[in-house]
Amino acid sequence: MSQFLFLTSWFVPLYSLLGAILTLPWGLGIIQRTGPRPAAYINLLTTLLAFVHSLFVFKDIWDREPEKLLVPWFKAADLDLSFALELSPVSIGAIVLITGLSLLAQVYALGYMEKDWSLARFFALLGFFEAALSGLAISDSLLFSYGLLEVLTLSTYLLVGFWYAQPLVVTAARDAFLTKRVGDLLLLMAVVTLSTSAGSLNFSDLYEWAQTANLSPVTSTLLGLALIAGPAGKCAQFPLHLWLDEAMEGPNPASVMRNSLVVAGGAYLLFKLQPLLALSPIALNALVVMGTVTAIGATLVSIAQIDIKRALSHSTSAYMGLAFLAVGLQQGGVALMLLLTHAIAKALLFMSSGSVILTTQSQDLTEMGGLWSRMPATTTAYVVGSAGMVTLLPLGSFWAMLAWADGFVNISPWVIGVLLLVNGLTALNLTRVFRLVFWGKPQQKTRRTPEVGWSMAFPMVTLTVLTLLLPLMLQQWYLLPDWESINWYVASALFASTGIGVVAGSTIHLHKAWSRSRILAWRFIQDLLGYDFYIDRVYRVTVVSAVALLSKISAWSDRYLVDGIVNLVGFATILGGQSLKYSISGQSQGYMLTILAVVSILGFFISWSLGLLDKLPF
C-alpha cells in the first residue's frame, strides 16, 4: 500500500485541481438552489484527500531514495521539453505543508466568508492556488515551474480582485498582476536562454550543465539576474515589493495562503536554482543586496503601519528577504528551515488578525483595544504566532536563526547584525500591534466583540498547537543541533534582540492619534516609513513618467508620421486620379503607346542596373 501511495504521489496536485473544476457549476451560477456551500465541501474533501495521501507518503519516504518521474511533452533535435517530477523528503514535506495549511485556511474561510454568495468562486480559486503550489513543490523542471508560477500570478490577480465592485480592490489586483509580470517576463527570457544553451530544462540536467558551462561574464550575469527576477516578484522583494501591501485588499483567507505559502513558493524555486546562480558572483551579490535591503527596509516600514494586515504583510517581505540573503550566501538549507517556521507562524498571525477584522469590522489599529478578555482563542493564537516569528527559545524560528548565525559569526559578522536588527524590529512591531489590538481600554468597536465561531477557532487552535510542537518535529527530523555544539554567545544575542524589541514595543507611548505626531521631525519619519520610503512616488516620477513620455512620442509619431505618410499617399492618389481623368482621350492606340513607352523605360533601367548594356558593341 505504501509503495502504491508513493508511486502515485504525483497525483496529489490533481486532487485540488479536480476539486476546483467540480466547484465550477456553483461558481458559474449554473447550480443556485443549493447555495454555494456544497462547492466548499467538495474542495475541503479533495484537499483532505491530498493531505492524507501526502502525509502517508511523507511518513515512509525517509527510508527511500529520491525518485524522479519524467513526462515527455515535446522533443525536436537537441531541444527536449518534458515535465520532470521529483519525489523526495523535501518535496513531499513541502506538499504536506501546503495541503495542511490550505485545509486549515479553507475551514477558516467557511466561517470568515459565511455570508458571501461568491463562496464557490472563492473556493475554486483556492483550489487552483493549491494545485499550482503543490505542483511547484514536486516540479523538477524549470519550464514546468515557470508555468506554475504563471498560474500563481493569475490566481493572485483573481483572489486579490475577488471583491471587484470596489475600485481600490481592482487597482490592487492590477498592480499585483503587472508587478509580478515584470519578474515573470525576465524569468521567461532566462528559460529561453537555458533551453538553447543547456538543451534541457530539467533541474538535474541543468545542474550537470552548470558544472561544465563556459559562459562569458556578461552572459552569466544577465542569466543570473533574470533567474532572480521571477522569484523576486513572487516574494515581494525590492524593487518589486509594492504589490504585497496592496494585495491585502483581498479576502483574509487568501491572505493567509499568500503570506505563508505563495511568497515561499518563489523562494523555494530560488533554492532549486542555486547551482545556476553560482555561475555568476554578481548575481549572488545581487541576492545579498536585495535580501538585505528588503529585510531591513520592510521591517522599518511595518512599524509605522496602522492597518493590521499591512503591518503583518511587510514583515512577510522582510523574512523573504532573509531567505534571499541565505540563498545568496549559499545557505539553502537555512532558507528552507526559515520558510517552514515562517509559514506556520505567519498563517497563525493572519488567522488571528482576520478574526479581529471580522468581529470589529475594522482594520485600523487605532480603533481597537481590550480584546484579550473578549477573544481568548484569538489572543492566544496571536501571542503564539508572534513567539514563533521571532527568536524565542525553544520555538522554531530560534533554531533557524541560530543555525544561520552560528555559521557566519566568524566569516561574515555583518550578517549577524542584520538578523539581530530584523528580529528586534519584528518583535517591536508585533508587540506594538498586540498592545493596540488586545491590550488597553476597549474602543467603540471592541466593547461588545465576541469570540469567533468554531470554524475559525479550530484552525487557529490547531496551528497554535503545531507551532508549539514544531521544535519536537524538527528534532524528530534531526534538524536541531546538539546542546554541546550551540554557540551560546550567538544564542544569547538573538534572544536579547527579541527581549529588547518586546521591551521597546511595550514601553512606547501609544495613543489614539499616535500615527500623526505633532512634532515635525517625528512626523516626517512616520510618513517616510508609513508611505514605504515614497518608493511609489519615485516610480511615478521616473519609470511611470518615462513610459508615459514614450507613449506620447509613439502616439505622436503614429498619428503624424505613419498615418501622415499613408494619408499623403492616399491624397496624392486621389489628386492624381482626379487630374488624369480630364486628360483622357479615349483612343486605345494612345493607351498602348503609353504602356509601351513606360515598359521600355523600365526595361532600359533594369538592363543598365544589371550591367547588360555594357556587353553591347556600341
Asked if 73 and 127 sit in the same domain, the reply is: yes
| 345 domain residue, yes or no | yes
Radius of gyration of the chain (CA): 30
Which position has the grid cell 483574509? 252
pLDDT of residue 45: 92
- Together in a domain, 338 and 235: yes
Residues in the chain: 618
- Averaged confidence pLDDT in the chain: 83
In-domain check, residue 78: yes
How far is C-alpha 239 from the chain's CA centre? 13
Rounded to whole angstroms, how far apart are CA atoms 29 and 32?
Answer: 6
pLDDT tier at 616 (50, 70, 90 boundaries)? low
- Tell me, yes or no, whether 500 lies in a domain: no
The string over 188-221, giving b where at least 16 C-beta atoms fall within 10 Å of a residue's C-beta and e elsewhere, is bebbebbbeebebbbbebbeebbeebebeeeebb
Report the distance separating Cα 486 and Cα 384, nearest Å: 24
Q: Quick check: 581 pLDDT over 80?
A: no
pLDDT band at 405 (very low <50, low <70, confident <90, very high): confident
Statement to judge: residues 135 and 37 lie in one domain: yes
Q: What is the pLDDT of residue 107?
A: 92
In this prediction, residue 36 carries a pLDDT of: 81
User: Do 612 and 554 share a structural domain?
Assistant: no
C-beta atoms surrounding 171 within 10 Å = 14
Q: Is the pLDDT of residue 110 over 70?
A: yes
3-class secondary-structure state, position 83: strand
Residues 69 and 211 in one domain: no
> Do 122 and 178 have their domain in common?
no
Q: Is the pLDDT of residue 513 over 60?
A: no
CB 424 within 8 A of CB 493: no
Cell of 80: 527536449
Query: Number of folded domains in the chain?
Result: 4
pLDDT (0 to 100) of residue 617: 59
Q: pLDDT band for position 369 (50/70/90)?
A: confident
pLDDT band for position 585 (50/70/90)? low
Q: Are 297 and 384 in the same domain?
A: yes
- Side-chain-side CA neighbours of residue 40 (13 Å): 23
Chain segment 204-217, per-residue pLDDT in tens: 888 888 888 788 88
- pLDDT score of 77: 65
What integer pLDDT is reported at residue 517 of this predicted model?
Answer: 62
pLDDT in tens, 219-256: 888 888 899 988 888 888 888 878 777 778 788 888 88
Is the Cβ–Cβ distance between 372 and 379 less than 8 Å?
yes
Residue 515 predicted with pLDDT over 60: no
Q: Among 134-143, 333-342, 601-610, name the one with the lowest average pLDDT.
A: 601-610
pLDDT level of residue 78 (50, 70, 90 thresholds): low
The predicted structure's pLDDT at residue 46: 92
Eight-class DSSP state of 29? T
DSSP 86: E
The Cα–Cα gap between 159 and 255 comes to 9
- The answer to whether residue 174 scores a pLDDT higher than 70 is yes
Residues 6+ apart with CB under 8 A from 39: 22, 23, 25, 26, 27, 119, 120, 123, 124
Q: Are residues 542 and 610 in the same domain?
A: no
| Separation of alpha carbons 340 and 400, rounded Å | 9
Same domain, 431 and 575: no
Question: 423 near 390, Cβ under 8 Å?
Answer: yes
pLDDT-derived band at 407 (thresholds 50, 70, 90) equals low
If phi > 0 it is left, if psi is from -120 to 50 it is alpha, else beta; for residue 586 that is: left
Weakest-pLDDT range from 217-221, 418-422, 563-567? 563-567
Give me the phi and psi of 87, to 5 degrees please: -110, 100
Residues 449 and 428 in one domain: yes
Q: Is residue 578 part of a domain?
A: yes
- The 10s digit of each residue's pLDDT in 177-198 is 888 888 888 889 888 888 888 8
Give 524 or 297, the one with higher predicted confidence: 297
d(CA 116, CA 110): 10
CA distances from 305 to 80, 195, 315, 385, 460 (A): 49, 44, 11, 19, 24
Q: 284 lies in a domain?
A: yes
Q: Could you tell me if 399 and 328 lie in one domain?
A: yes
Residue 132, domain member (yes or no): yes
Cell 516609513 sits at which residue?
529
For the chain, give me the number of helices (H) and strands (E)? Answer: 27, 2
Report CA torsion sign: 161, 166, 169, 173: positive
Name beta bridge partners: 307: 364
Lowest mean pLDDT among 98-112, 366-380, 510-524, 549-563: 510-524
Looking at residue 411, what is its pLDDT? 65
Q: Can you tell me the mean pLDDT for 565-592?
A: 72
Q: Please check whether residues 554 and 594 belong to one and the same domain.
A: no
Domain that holds residue 242: 163-481
Does some domain include residue 153?
Answer: no
Is residue 501 assigned to a domain? no
DSSP 125-185: HHHHHHHHHHHHHHB-BHHHHHHHHHHHHHHHHHHHTSSTTSHHHHHHHHHHHHHHHHHHH
Candidates 335, 333, 493; CA nearest to 413 is 493
